[in-house]
Amino acid sequence: MDADHPDAAVPEPSRLTVLSGPSGVGKGSVVAEIRRSHPEVWLSVSATTRTPRPGEVDGVQYHFVDRAGFERMVAAGEMLEWAEYAGNLYGTPRGPVEERLAAGTYALLEIELQGARQVRRAMPEARLVFLAPPSREELARRLVGRGTEDEAAIAERLGVAEVELAAAREFDVVLVNDTVTHAAEELVQLLG
């Protein structure tokens, strides 16, 4: 045994990285880019009660479950964190994340802000990364989208976005989503 490193055979538990940020900032696009360009990066697969979108595959983007199944997982303590977002439940199954970390490999979560705060409490050593828009104007442009919402709905979304932007100060790292490929590369560099 190496006297300086008595535990050399036991891998150091690795750090969890959490990507979060305001609605509409493009977290999903950054993660999709990492899936494409860095298939070696392990991404947690969340459970959700929302219905799959075209092209989404059960077990790949999400585990699609019904509300009763989701609530059973919560009651059994199987969720590291969970939140309700736009009428659906989303949560991170705890087991696969803990296995990864115990094996000394990195793990990446992409979750909304309430979930990121729960991870902060449950795993204070996790690295929390806030994905920020290049500017408030750009975020507003993305939220307004194709102009299908009425003015009240747009005002409400912008109000929510302002509150969400203020959460940046709770995070360890702020990453600006200037381009999806650049943000994805920077995030991969932060892992480990």
User: Does 115 contact ligand 5GP by CB under 6 A?
Assistant: yes
Dist CA 64 CA 90 (whole Å): 10
Closer CB to ligand 5GP, 148 or 151, in the complex = 148
Nearest approach, Cβ of 64 to ligand 5GP (angstroms)? Answer: 11
Using DSSP's 3-state secondary structure scheme, residue 118 falls into: helix
User: Does 46 contact ligand 5GP by CB under 6 A?
Assistant: yes
Dist CA 157 CA 46 (whole Å): 25
Q: Which residue is nearest to ligand 5GP (CB)?
A: 115
**Closest C-alpha among 184, 138, 190 to residue 28:** 184
Closer CB to ligand 5GP, 90 or 106, in the complex = 90
User: Does 85 contact ligand 5GP by CB under 6 A?
Assistant: yes
Task: Provide CB contacts within 8 A for 46, sequence distance 6+.
Answer: 62, 63, 90, 91, 92, 93, 109, 111
CA-CA-CA-CA torsion for 55, 28, 149, 169, nearest 10 degrees?
170
Contact 177, 134 (CB under 8 A): yes
User: Does 33 contact ligand 5GP by CB under 6 A?
Assistant: no
CB-CB neighbours of 98 under 10 Å: 15
Which residue in the set 33, 41, 70, 81 belongs to the binding site for ligand 5GP (CB under 6 A)?
81
Which residue in the set 27, 117, 127, 157 belongs to the binding site for ligand 5GP (CB under 6 A)?
27
- With CB under 6 A as the contact rule, which of the stretches 4-12, 63-71, 108-116, 164-172 interacts with ligand 5GP? 108-116
Q: Site residues (CB under 6 A) for ligand 5GP?
A: 27-28, 46, 50, 81-83, 85, 90-92, 110-112, 114-115
